[in-house]
């Protein structure tokens, strides 16, 4: 970026170039695989797809690590934000005062994000080599995976909102392609379409947010927005001042991408995609984009009490409601999906109470343990020959020990067992809610923690403990996954254990440009949080290992609640009804058949008939009788004459 660098901008030769290479590798991988995928398939070299894509992901990770380590060495010891804005040298859009240069933003926040994306992304690429090795179309799969990586990196590195939006819609597109990867399945292509359309609802909000932000702040550059955030009032028309309107419109986008109520309906369906996709896109990276955006715009959000209340409130509501739905799911991936929705709500809860750094902290630890859990479930599904119903599992710990142990670690981490990663980030969120005296949010957060521990332990016990319920034939085929998959599980398990020791909130704090609040440490929150977690685990153990017939009894006694939860609180029903009965049926029978064909075209054709009828009538005058003509001529002459005389 030329002319007048903003405060804190670094001019470092390496940081001006290396971030672009982070983007280039996965893009090249996509192009190569897209163009030569057919040839590879023909030559029987489909395995190359996985190798090439993984190599590109790793190369991208290396460049990311290089950039981040460079940035870290340049960070000053004291407080203060340092960042680099590599500029590609030309504008993407440049009309009148609306200008979008192609520039990136490398600061502590995007540094954390690119490490998560490329790091976990690389692991999942490697895992997929094993997971997808029997799929004929795996080259196509890996090309999409590389393309996703590219767009996700554009999203977190883009230096302005429009560039972020390029990544934003790009990852949505890849998500669409990967959910519908097995396109011959109706349910898969349905789910892909639903994901894209629901996301577009959010995107429309995001577009409006950008339009308003540009109108009122005169810029969409992320650094300039952060600097100018205070220039517009948060309140105006009632509580809706420019700042608040921008924040709320953008938050609609965040709700779409990060699956917050009521736009969460696409994420559980997205489990139609191959499991590595669920791990990478629908747990660790893409769905956290909304959290990233809200935190990225913390200088704006933090100045609008209304927007913060909405973010925290909706996040909390999503956390609770999704957790209740997860309690009754029987599909192993659906439990994880609702769990993801719930955990994303947790992150918004953190952001909404002003703990942006903690939100990112939970984003990172969640990326580790949820990727681990999804890949672990993939390993289970792999062993079970694509069976996902937990009621047909059980006792798997003897057959797939590595998967079992790593999965146990992931479960413990998400449940908040002390000294694992989830414990630290979750504790920090609850502490933030507590310190800001949001008693209700704190209470609901605690309840969610309890439910989370319960449903995750339920999943774990149903899958790995007790007796195998899938029949002898299936039991005979149970097998541990290949080393490429198990190895990845082990690496992620290490991350799930130790991820909590990375001081993420301190690293990213300068980005938010907020005064640092000294946090008072009391024992109340960790004790309550730990008790909730352990209680949930114990209850699940009692209900699913000790007394396995208890859940049925409980369900029988609370039939109504059971039904509500199994119907997922009716959100999907409402969406389906609205789209098919109102939008499609209304467009068809009312707009198209009545208004378009009936009214408008009817009027047009009617006008045609009138002309036609007049012509037919006029034809009657041409009788060929000279006397008749003479009469008309005479009459006309009289009329004309009288007219002329009269005026």
Partner 1 sequence: MGASNYLLSLLLLLPLVGAIVIALSPRANVGLQKTLGMAFSLAAFAVSLLLVSGFQPIAEMQFVERYEWIPAYGISFHLGIDGISLWLVILTTFLTPIALLGSWSSIADRVKEFNVFMLLLEVGMLGVFFALDLFVFYIFWEAMLIPMYFLIGIWGHGRRIYAAVKFFLYTMAGSVLMLVAFLVLYKETGAVGFGLAELLQRPVEPGLQFWLFLAFALAFAIKVPMFPFHTWLPDAHVEAPTAGSVILAGVLLKMGGYGFLRLAMPLFPQAAMEMAPWIALLAVIGIVYGALVSLVQPDMKKLVAYSSVSHLGFVMLGVAAFSTTSVTGAVYQMLNHGISTGALFLMVGMLYDRRHTRDIAEFGGLKTVMPWFSALFLMVGLSSIAVPGFNGFVGEFLILVGSWRAFPGYVIVASLGVILAAAYMLWMIQRVLYGEVTNPKNEKLADLTPRELVVLLPLLFLAVYMGIFSPQFTRTIEPSVAALVRDVRAAGAPVHNAAALPAPAPAR
List interacting residues with partner 1 (CB under 8 A).
34, 38, 90-98, 162, 165-166, 169-170, 173, 176, 180, 183-184, 186, 189-190, 192-193, 196-197, 200-201, 203-205, 207-208, 210-212, 214-215, 579, 583-584, 586-588, 591-592, 595-596, 600-601, 604, 608
Closer by beta carbon to partner 1, 440 or else 595: 595
Closest approach of partner 1 to the CB of residue 294, in Å = 20
Contact between 33 and 139 (Cβ < 8 Å): yes
User: Two tokens at 265?
Assistant: 């309906």
Rg over alpha carbons for the chain, rounded to the nearest Å, is 30
How many other C-beta atoms can be found within 10 angstroms of the C-beta atom of residue 217?
20
How many other C-beta atoms can be found within 10 angstroms of the C-beta atom of residue 172?
24
Length of the chain: 647
Residue-wise burial string across 335-364, b where 16 or more C-beta atoms lie within 10 A, e elsewhere: bbbbbbbbbbbbbbbbbbbbbbbbbbbbbb
Displacement of CA 554 from its chain's centroid (Å) = 34
The three-state DSSP-derived secondary structure of 220-280 is CEHHHHHHHHHHCCCCEEECECHHHHHHHHHHHHHHHHCCCCCHHHHHHHHHHCCHHHHHH
Closest approach of partner 1 to the CB of residue 240, in Å = 12
Closest approach of partner 1 to the CB of residue 187, in Å = 11
Closer by beta carbon to partner 1, 173 or else 534: 173
Closest approach of partner 1 to the CB of residue 207, in Å = 6
Closer by beta carbon to partner 1, 207 or else 286: 207
Closer by beta carbon to partner 1, 11 or else 601: 601
For residue 10, list its beta bridge partners: 84
Indicate the burial class of 250 (C-beta count within 10 angstroms; 0-12, 13-18, 19 or more).
Answer: buried
Closest approach of partner 1 to the CB of residue 120, in Å = 24
Region for residue 233 given its phi and psi (left: phi exceeds 0; alpha: psi -120 to 50; beta: otherwise): beta
Closer by beta carbon to partner 1, 269 or else 427: 269
User: CA 574, CA 257: separation in Å to the nearest integer?
Assistant: 20
User: CA 615, CA 621: separation in Å to the nearest integer?
Assistant: 10
Closest approach of partner 1 to the CB of residue 94, in Å = 4
Closer by beta carbon to partner 1, 139 or else 390: 139
Closest approach of partner 1 to the CB of residue 585, in Å = 9
CA dihedral 606, 607, 613, 615 (to 10 degrees): -160
Closer by beta carbon to partner 1, 577 or else 592: 592
Closest approach of partner 1 to the CB of residue 21, in Å = 19
Closest approach of partner 1 to the CB of residue 275, in Å = 20
Which residue blocks in 355-466 are alpha helix, DSSP H? 356-383, 401-415, 421-435, 439-464
Phi, psi of 215 (to 5 degrees): -60, -40
Closest approach of partner 1 to the CB of residue 183, in Å = 4
Closer by beta carbon to partner 1, 167 or else 526: 167
Nearest to 316 by CA among 444, 404, 449, 211: 444
Indicate the burial class of 328 (C-beta count within 10 angstroms; 0-12, 13-18, 19 or more).
Answer: buried
Closer by beta carbon to partner 1, 94 or else 522: 94
Distances (CA, A) of 272 to 158, 177, 332, 354, 506: 30, 11, 12, 35, 38
User: Two tokens at 566?
Assistant: 């199994």
Closest approach of partner 1 to the CB of residue 245, in Å = 10
Displacement of CA 521 from its chain's centroid (Å) = 33
Closer by beta carbon to partner 1, 231 or else 587: 587
Closest approach of partner 1 to the CB of residue 426, in Å = 35
Region for residue 419 given its phi and psi (left: phi exceeds 0; alpha: psi -120 to 50; beta: otherwise): left
Closer by beta carbon to partner 1, 211 or else 524: 211
Closer by beta carbon to partner 1, 197 or else 534: 197
Closest approach of partner 1 to the CB of residue 29, in Å = 17
Render 138-186 in DSSP notation, one character per residue: HHHHHHHHHHHHHHHHHHHHBSBHHHHHHHHHHHHHHHHHHHTSSTTSH
Closer by beta carbon to partner 1, 91 or else 305: 91
User: CA 455, CA 452: separation in Å to the nearest integer?
Assistant: 5
Closer by beta carbon to partner 1, 12 or else 169: 169
Closest approach of partner 1 to the CB of residue 2, in Å = 16
User: Two tokens at 613?
Assistant: 């009828």
Closest approach of partner 1 to the CB of residue 371, in Å = 27
Closer by beta carbon to partner 1, 162 or else 416: 162
Phi, psi of 92 (to 5 degrees): -85, -45
């Amino acid at each position: 970026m030329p002319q007048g660098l903003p405060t804190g901008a670094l001019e470092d030769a390496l940081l001006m170039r290396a971030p672009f290479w982070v983007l280039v590798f996965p893009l090249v991988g996509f192009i190569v695989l897209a163009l030569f995928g057919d040839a590879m398939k023909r030559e029987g070299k489909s395995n190359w797809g996985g190798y090439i894509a993984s190599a590109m992901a790793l190369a991208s990770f290396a460049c990311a690590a290089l950039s981040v380590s460079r940035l870290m060495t340049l960070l000053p010891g004291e407080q203060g934000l340092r960042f680099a804005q590599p500029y590609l040298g030309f504008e993407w859009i440049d009309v009148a005062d609306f200008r979008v240069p192609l520039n990136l933003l490398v600061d502590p926040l995007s540094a954390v994000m690119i490490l998560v994306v490329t790091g976990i992304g690389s692991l999942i690429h490697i895992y997929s080599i094993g997971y997808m090795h029997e799929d004929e179309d795996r080259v196509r799969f890996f090309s999409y995976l590389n393309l996703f990586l590219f767009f996700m990196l554009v999203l977190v590195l883009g230096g302005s909102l429009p560039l972020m939006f390029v990544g934003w819609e790009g990852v949505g597109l890849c998500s669409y392609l990967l959910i519908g990867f097995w396109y011959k399945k109706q349910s898969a292509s349905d789910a892909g379409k639903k994901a894209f359309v629901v996301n577009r609802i959010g995107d429309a909000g995001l577009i409006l947010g950008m339009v308003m932000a540009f109108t009122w702040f005169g810029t969409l550059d992320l650094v300039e927005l952060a600097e100018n955030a205070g220039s517009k009032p948060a309140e105006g028309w009632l509580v809706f001042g420019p700042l608040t309107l921008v924040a709320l419109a953008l938050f609609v986008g965040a709700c779409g991408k990060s699956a917050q109520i009521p736009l969460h309906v696409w994420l559980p369906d997205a489990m139609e995609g191959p499991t590595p996709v669920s791990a990478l896109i629908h747990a660790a990276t893409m769905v956290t984009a909304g959290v990233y955006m809200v935190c990225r715009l913390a200088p704006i959000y933090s100045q609008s009490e209304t927007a913060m209340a909405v973010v925290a409130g909706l996040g909390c509501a999503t956390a609770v409601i999704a957790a209740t739905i997860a309690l009754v799911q029987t599909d192993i991936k659906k439990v994880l999906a609702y769990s993801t929705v719930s955990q994303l709500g947790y992150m918004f809860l953190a952001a909404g109470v002003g703990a942006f750094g903690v939100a990112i902290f939970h984003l990172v630890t969640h990326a580790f343990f949820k990727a681990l859990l999804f890949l672990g479930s993939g390993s289970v599904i792999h062993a079970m020959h694509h069976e996902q119903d937990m009621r047909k599992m059980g006792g798997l710990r003897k057959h797939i020990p590595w998967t079992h142990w790593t999965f146990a670690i992931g479960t413990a981490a998400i449940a908040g067992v002390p000294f694992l990663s989830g414990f630290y980030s979750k504790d920090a969120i609850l502490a933030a809610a507590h310190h800001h005296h949001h008693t209700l949010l704190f209470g609901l957060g605690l309840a969610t923690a309890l439910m989370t521990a319960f449903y995750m332990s339920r999943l774990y016990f149903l899958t790995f403990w007790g007796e195998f319920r899938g029949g002898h034939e299936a039991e005979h085929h149970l097998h541990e996954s290949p080393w490429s998959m198990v190895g990845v599980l082990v690496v992620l398990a290490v991350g799930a254990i130790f991820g909590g020791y990375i001081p993420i909130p301190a690293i990213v704090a300068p980005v938010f440009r907020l005064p640092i609040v000294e946090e008072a440490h009391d024992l109340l929150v960790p004790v309550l949080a730990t008790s909730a977690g352990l209680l949930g685990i114990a209850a699940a153990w009692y209900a699913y290992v000790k007394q396995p017939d208890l859940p049925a009894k409980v369900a029988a006694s609370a039939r109504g609640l059971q039904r509500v939860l199994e119907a997922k609180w009716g959100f999907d029903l409402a969406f389906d009804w609205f789209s098919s009965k109102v939008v499609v049926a209304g467009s068809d029978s009312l707009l198209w058949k009545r208004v378009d064909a009936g009214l408008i075209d009817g009027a047009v054709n009617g006008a045609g008939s009138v002309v036609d009828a007049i012509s037919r009538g006029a034809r009657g005058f041409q009788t060929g009788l000279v006397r008749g003509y003479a009469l008309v001529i005479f009459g006309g002459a009289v009329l004309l004459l009288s007219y002329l005389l009269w005026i």
